[in-house]
């Protein structure tokens, strides 16, 4: 047989579209060509595959070899196609049974010795395999039992893929071991990889705990409200007040991930440069990019489009420390995804739509030196310098941040009396947050932050006292319609924490307080 077909998948930002690797051996001058829009990494696989086959004692055909990666209009990158190309050559030359490749998918980078190296995107690939088989089963009228797909990966990458239900994942250490398995050698059979044991990633033992925070009672309450409703937060305070410490502890307050949320988040992280670790399974992502990050790094870019930090933080927390130090253009790119929960990246020939339903937590100093308003008079910034510093944040961006709070510096007395100023642990706060989230999902099927204008009118309207207070505050501070509705959403979340059906005047007043930092400036 001079033609073999092997199934694989391409990395594509959390998805994993199927790629058919077709290998044809023909007579003529020896050559090795790869077609189908391969990038440099894929074209270099010719030398890796040639050396791996020879060093494993396998025959490399001295013929005209053509490899086609279909579909031809999908860009192919990374070294993951080494393994399917090598298997296609072996099957086309009769060194392994061609039928052993049917209904199986393969991916992996080969070393020159034939060993299989770890690869990124293994989890996303397993998700794509399971999803495509489910779609085929749903479209088919066949009542035969559903077949479990088989996925063959490097042994070091198989553990994360085994977390995906409905897929039999096999890990191979090298090419000879996999060939022995495909050839049916009894002593060489591989066993499906079992999901690795892991602890509860959202337990208080594995996440930073609010118990470590000294004082900051108002800030702790604000984070509880933010976690309950999924609201964005901006913390303003001097250096060392605990802004970063508070932000790092927000994930410990968030509800556990559902099965679908865990699969979605892990698939996105798996395809990223940092990769996904099975020990982070069901852990909400916490991304903290440096303020020198570009717009492409933050919201996505490249060609074809790749996800940015706001997508990798999907269903988790995106923490932007030193917010005014980010380039203003970079911050403005956040406006649309913060509102819509999705971002569309368009290029001349490509368009990609990425999820971006993360919770933004930002921190900043009140002025360049950080000590504006300090009672000891340490600030040396003029009013003009301080105003110019704050003007780095545009009104439309601030409008989209629901909770804006000031974090005061801790006094030496509070620090020395640590035992008496330590607050509540994360576990009881998370329990209240989970109860509030359940009320929201039961009532409207989404968090309060995600409510549309009409839904806000239906479920967030306060009582008469709260309505009057909200109207007066809106007129005094000159709120936009967006700001007005966001205060209503925060008031609704505060009412959910208290178990109230309708926000009252006190709860509206608390929501208004979370909007005063920049409204009063």
Tokens at 234, concatenated? 């901006």
Residues 232 and 376 placed together within one structural domain of the fold:
yes
193 within domain boundaries: no
- pLDDT, one tens digit per residue, over 221-275 is 999 999 999 999 999 999 988 899 999 999 999 998 988 898 888 888 887 777 7
Residues 413 and 462 placed together within one structural domain of the fold:
no
- pLDDT, one tens digit per residue, over 211-230 is 888 888 899 999 999 999 99
Coil/strand/helix, residue 375: coil
Among residues 255, 316, 264, the alpha carbon closest in space to that of 288 is found at 316
Residues 479 and 399 placed together within one structural domain of the fold:
no
Rg, the chain, Cα only: 28
490 within domain boundaries: yes
Among residues 513, 248, 267, the alpha carbon closest in space to that of 404 is found at 513
pLDDT value, residue 14: 60
Among residues 121, 79, 112, 91, the alpha carbon closest in space to that of 24 is found at 91
Global pTM value = 0.87
What is the dihedral sign for C-alpha 116, 121, 125, 127?
positive
Residues 34 and 82 placed together within one structural domain of the fold:
yes
Residues 459 and 367 placed together within one structural domain of the fold:
no
> Span 396-418, mean pLDDT?
85
pLDDT value, residue 203: 47
439 within domain boundaries: no
> Span 196-218, mean pLDDT?
72
- pLDDT, one tens digit per residue, over 313-328 is 999 999 999 999 999 9
Residues 457 and 385 placed together within one structural domain of the fold:
no
Residues 57 and 107 placed together within one structural domain of the fold:
yes
104-106 β-sheet, strand order? 31-35, 64-70, 18-26, 3-9, 104-106, 150-154, 168-172
351 within domain boundaries: yes
pLDDT class of 195 with cuts at 50, 70, 90: confident
Q: Are 390 and 324 in contact (CB under 8 A)?
A: yes
Q: Which domain holds residue 476?
A: 451-521
Report the number of distinct structural domains present in the chain: 3
Measured at the CA of 436, the angle between CA 434 and CA 441, to 5 degrees, comes to 90
Residues 340 and 389 placed together within one structural domain of the fold:
yes
pLDDT value, residue 199: 44
Q: Are 128 and 136 in contact (CB under 8 A)?
A: no
- pLDDT, one tens digit per residue, over 140-158 is 545 445 578 899 999 999 9
Question: Which has the higher per-residue pLDDT, 304 or 210?
Answer: 210
Task: Reply yes or no on whether the pLDDT at 515 is more than 70.
Answer: yes
Q: Are 237 and 367 in contact (CB under 8 A)?
A: no
Coil/strand/helix, residue 171: strand
Among residues 279, 280, 286, the alpha carbon closest in space to that of 245 is found at 286
Residues 60 and 182 placed together within one structural domain of the fold:
yes
Mean pLDDT of the chain: 88
Strand partners, 342: 355
pLDDT value, residue 166: 86
Tokens at 59, concatenated? 């025959």
Say how many C-beta atoms besides its own lie within 10 A of residue 423's C-beta.
16
Write the CATH number for 500.
Answer: 1.10.8
- pLDDT, one tens digit per residue, over 47-60 is 999 999 999 999 99
- Determine the Cα–Cα distance for residues 371 and 111; give it in Å rounded to an integer: 56
- pLDDT, one tens digit per residue, over 425-479 is 899 999 999 999 999 999 999 999 999 888 998 999 999 999 999 999 989 988 8
Say how many C-beta atoms besides its own lie within 10 A of residue 424's C-beta.
15
DSSP letter for each residue of 133-150: HHHHHHH----SPPPPPE
Write the CATH number for 345.
Answer: 3.40.50.300
Q: Are 451 and 490 in contact (CB under 8 A)?
A: no
What is the end-to-end Cα distance of the chain in Å, rounded?
Answer: 78
Residues 405 and 487 placed together within one structural domain of the fold:
no
Crossing angle between the packed helical segments 505-513 and 481-498, to the nearest 10 degrees: 120
Write the CATH number for 90.
Answer: 3.30.230.10
């Amino acid at each position: 047989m001079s033609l073999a077909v092997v199934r694989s998948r391409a990395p594509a930002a959390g998805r994993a579209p199927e790629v058919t690797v077709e290998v044809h051996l023909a007579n003529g001058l020896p050559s090795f060509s790869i077609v189908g829009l391969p990038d440099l990494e894929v074209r270099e696989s010719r030398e890796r595959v040639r050396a791996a086959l020879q060093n494993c004692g396998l025959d490399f055909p001295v013929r005209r070899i053509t490899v086609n990666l279909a579909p031809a209009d999908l860009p192919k990158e990374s070294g993951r196609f080494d393994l399917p190309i090598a298997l296609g050559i072996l099957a086309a030359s009769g060194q392994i049974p061609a039928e052993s490749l049917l209904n199986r998918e393969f991916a992996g980078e080969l070393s020159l010795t034939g060993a299989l190296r770890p690869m990124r995107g293994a989890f996303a690939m397993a998700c794509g395999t399971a999803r495509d088989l489910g779609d085929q089963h749903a479209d088919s009228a066949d009542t035969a039992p559903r077949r479990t797909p088989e996925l063959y990966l490097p042994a070091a990458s198989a553990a994360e893929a085994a977390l995906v239900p409905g897929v039999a994942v096999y890990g191979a250490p090298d090419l000879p071991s996999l060939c022995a398995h495909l050839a049916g050698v009894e002593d060489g059979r591989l066993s499906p990889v079992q999901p690795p044991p892991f602890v509860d990633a959202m337990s208080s033992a594995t996440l930073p705990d609010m118990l470590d925070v000294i004082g900051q009672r108002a800030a702790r309450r604000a984070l509880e409200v933010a976690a309950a409703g999924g609201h964005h937060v901006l913390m303003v305070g001097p250096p060392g007040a605990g802004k970063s410490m508070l932000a790092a502890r927000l994930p410990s307050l968030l509800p556990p991930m559902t099965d679908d949320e865990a699969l979605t988040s892990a698939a996105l992280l798996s395809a990223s440069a940092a990769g996904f670790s099975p020990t982070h399974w069901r852990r909400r992502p916490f991304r903290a990019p440096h303020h020198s990050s570009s717009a492409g790094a933050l919201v996505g870019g490249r060609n074809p489009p790749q996800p940015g930090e706001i997508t990798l933080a999907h269903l988790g927390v995106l923490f932007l420390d030193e917010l005014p130090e980010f380039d203003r253009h970079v911050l403005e790119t956040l406006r649309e995804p913060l509102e819509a929960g999705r971002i569309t990246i368009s290029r001349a020939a490509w368009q990609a739509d990425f999820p971006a339903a993360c919770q933004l937590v930002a921190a900043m100093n009140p002025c360049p030196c950080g000590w504006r308003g300090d009672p000891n008079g340490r600030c040396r910034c003029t009013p003009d310098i301080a105003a110019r510093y704050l003007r780095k944040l545009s009104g439309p961006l601030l409008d989209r941040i629901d909770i804006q709070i000031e974090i005061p510096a801790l006094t030496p007395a509070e620090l020395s009396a640590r035992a008496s100023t330590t607050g509540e642990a994360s576990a009881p706060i998370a329990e209240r947050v989970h109860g509030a989230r359940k009320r929201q999902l039961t009532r409207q099927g989404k968090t309060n932050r995600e409510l549309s204008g009409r839904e806000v009118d239906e479920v967030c309207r306060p009582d008469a006292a709260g309505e009057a207070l909200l109207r007066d505050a809106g007129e005094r501070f000159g709120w936009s319609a967006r700001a007005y509705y966001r205060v209503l959403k925060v008031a609704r979340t505060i009412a959910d924490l208290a178990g109230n059906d309708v926000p009252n005047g006190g709860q509206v007043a608390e929501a208004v307080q979370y909007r005063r930092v920049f409204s009063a400036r």
